[in-house]
Chain A
Amino acid sequence: MTNLNLMLLVLMVAAAVWAVMARSLLKAAIGLAIASIIITIFMFEFNSPLAAVFELSVCSGLITVIFLSTIGLTRPLSHKELLALSRDRGRRYGFMPLLVIACGAILAFVFLKMPLDLEVAKNTISVGAREVLWNFRHLDLFGQIMILLAGGFGAVLLFRETNTDEW
């Protein structure tokens, strides 16, 4: 358990907590992107380069762009609404860092008490990730194509500018 890993983990949780608590949505999206980048670093460290590149380009890139465009296309709250919201905001979010740390501490305590043995199944396949995806998981590829098709329909249908016509 290297110090670098521990530091990265703490940074990741801190970025996530910042994303949840930040008042401005832009800062929240950036916090999310930082957490994604740290996960990418972990992926590179754990010999998963393909997933790392995917995560970097899609999660820190595409999803952050989607968030920023959604945030940009919707008007921020008016000043009165902002005041009304910020009054109980502290009550809602104030305890969050402590709660997260408490959760971690309780879990760490529980895991220390439990026996540390771990039955790990043996590895039977020794090919690269590309081969696994292309040769063994055709059904998942088919499912991915289907969901991309559905997503395409969703994007076209939901982002259009025409008027609504329903109750």
Chain B
Amino acid sequence: MPSLLILVPLVGILVLNFLFKLVVRRAAFWFVLVLFATQAVITFLHAPFFYAGSADRLNPFFKVVFNVDGISFVALLCIEIVCLASLVVARYTLHDLNQRFNFTNLLLISSIGMNGMVLTSDIFSLYVFLEVAAVSSFIMIAFRRGKRSLEGAFKYIILSAVATVLMLAAIALFLLACSDTSFAAIRHGMGQSPHSNIILFAVGMFVSGLFIKAGLVPFHAWLPDAYSAAPDAVSVLLAGIVTKACGIYALIRLVVSVFGFSPGLNQVILLLGAVSVLAGALAALGQNDFKRMLSYSSISQIGYIALGLGSGTALGVAGAVFHFFNHAIFKSLLFVNSAAVAEEAHTTDMDKMGGLSSRMPVTGSTSVIGFLSAAGIPPLAGFWSKLVIIIALWKAGDIAYAVIAVLASILTLSYLLSMQRRVFFGRLRQGLEDAKEVGAGFALISVFLALIIIACGLLFPLVFNAIYASVKQILIQ
């Protein structure tokens, strides 16, 4: 029953606030850990191969049909895994118990928002849950009230609200031309009058709003500030899933299921994807701050997903979905490692670091796996998804974009290698002798994420065929 995915966290919030707050706060962490593990299990039970849209027993209450198809399944899985990782990071980096408690509550609200956004089939509900996730992100960035966090949060608020206004205006115009706000009604309305100026304008506005939320260049201005200024646990969450679910997942879902591929839209997405890929990679090359470099790298990787989407073929969309999953895992892993490093070295300036791999072996080695996957080195998962995207672009005739993707892959390798070298390899720096592994939980979650990367890389044929089959099935309808 998909509605469990948005009700279980709500139950969690109520139990946390009415039970644990009064009794014992330390146990709250374990309770929420179990909660997210349960959610992951529920998500697995909804895998497209054994969930055929059967009866949702809570359906009469919600009066909507929650549809879980191949793309939603991948996104839901990402959400649960990244929330888990973020929770573990919070356990070790937020030392004040009150702050940890508040963060946990906000994490639960954010997961409700993202799950709802993935599950809904109505464009206005998409907007509502997107705002739920966005508002909880604002608060999570700002709640420790440091100067940089407030700055990042405010920029994010303003740009996100501008994107919201664009999307709302587009929804109003959709309401004018179609009979309802559900996906089916909009698809029907678009089919009936495909050349209507109003509908084209509305699609353009909505997609622009999504570009701002996704962080595609040139609408990315808020992203590096928000990622690097946020507390570490929040950066893991933001980079891993919030920006991706709010922006690029919504774009994939809408283009695939509602708007349909049209040459103009494809060209715009391809262009913005290519510009993001290059600009993000080039900007990441010159960064000295660990988290800021990772955030520019995120912009670049989201450009890859956009390139896969813009190719317009089932192979391209499947590659985009697979890269969505891979990016969630490896970027979360890299941010978890940066959180460990920041916790031990008390800085994120890479010029002040060096040789940490000797003191923090687990962090160093999982970071190697993360960076190899991000750079696209076989046989790790990142290589396969990038390869699929490049092949899809080649087959669709967009040769120039394929070449740009390959070039950017080289750039990605170079800046990530420089990061790895500066932070982990080399000689140990002066003040870092007493750095050690942060804790068992950190090591566990890093190893867990690294294992997922390795497994998806080795089991690539199995995993990718499943995604490709479901994407083909969705696109046929």
Residues of chain A whose beta carbon lies under 8 Å from any beta carbon of chain B: 114, 118-124, 135-140, 142-144, 146-147, 149-151, 153-154, 157-158, 164-167
Contact = CB atoms under 8 A, between A and B. Distances in A.
A145 B131 CA distance: 12
Given A143-B125, A157-B102, A165-B144, 16 more contacts: A114-B197, A119-B193, A121-B178, A122-B179, A123-B179, A138-B64, A142-B62, A143-B113, A146-B109, A146-B132, A147-B128, A147-B135, A153-B102, A158-B143, A164-B145, A166-B146
A122 to B, nearest CB: 7
A121 B177 contact: yes
Main secondary structure of the interface of B (DSSP, over half): helix
Contacts of A164: 144-147
B197 A119 contact: no
Interface stretch (B116-124, B297-305, B358-366): B116-124
B100 to A, nearest CB: 13
Given A139-B128, A142-B6, A166 B149 contact: yes
B139 A158 contact: yes
B171 to A, nearest CB: 12
Contact of A143 (B128, B136, B193): B128
A123 to B, nearest CB: 8
A138 B62 contact: yes
B13 interface: yes
A144 B128 CA distance: 8
A139 B143 contact: no
Nearest to B148: A167
B13 A149 contact: yes
Contacts of B197: 114
B142 interface: yes
A158 B176 contact: no
A94 B286 CA distance: 39
Given A142-B62, A158-B142, A166-B144, A150 B109 contact: yes
Nearest to A156: B102
A119 B197 CA distance: 10
B430 interface: no
Nearest to B185: A121
A150 B136 contact: yes
Contacts of B177: 119-121
**The 8 nearest A-B residue pairs measured at CB:** A166-B146, A143-B128, A154-B139, A164-B145, A121-B179, A157-B143, A166-B144, A139-B125
Contacts of A139: 62-64, 116, 120, 122, 125, 128
Interface string B358-396: 000000000000000000000000000000000000000
Contacts of B129: 143, 146
B61 interface: yes
B204 to A, nearest CB: 16
Nearest to B125: A139
A139 to B, nearest CB: 5
Nearest to B142: A158
A143 B132 contact: yes
Contact of B63 (A135, A149, A158): A135
Interface residues of B, number: 46
Contact of B135 (A121, A123, A136, A150): A150
B345 interface: no
Nearest to A149: B109
B438 interface: no
A124 B179 contact: yes
B54 interface: no
B109 A158 contact: no
B228 to A, nearest CB: 11
23 contacts: A118-B176, A120-B176, A121-B179, A122-B179, A139-B64, A139-B116, A139-B122, A139-B125, A139-B128, A140-B124, A140-B128, A142-B62, A142-B116, A143-B132, A146-B113, A147-B132, A149-B109, A154-B138, A157-B143, A158-B142, A165-B144, A165-B146, A166-B149
B132 A150 contact: yes
A94 B227 CA distance: 36
A151 B144 contact: no
Nearest to B6: A142
A146 B131 CA distance: 10
B271 interface: no
Contacts of B145: 158, 164, 166
Contacts of B260: none
Nearest to B196: A119
Nearest to B121: A139
Contacts of B116: 139, 142-143, 146
B341 to A, nearest CB: 15
A26 to B, nearest CB: 22
Interface string B134-171: 01101100111111110000000000000000000000
B357 interface: no
A147 B110 CA distance: 10
Nearest to A122: B179
Nearest to B348: A167
B286 to A, nearest CB: 22
Contacts of B337: none
Nearest to A114: B197
Nearest to B137: A150
Contacts of B10: 146
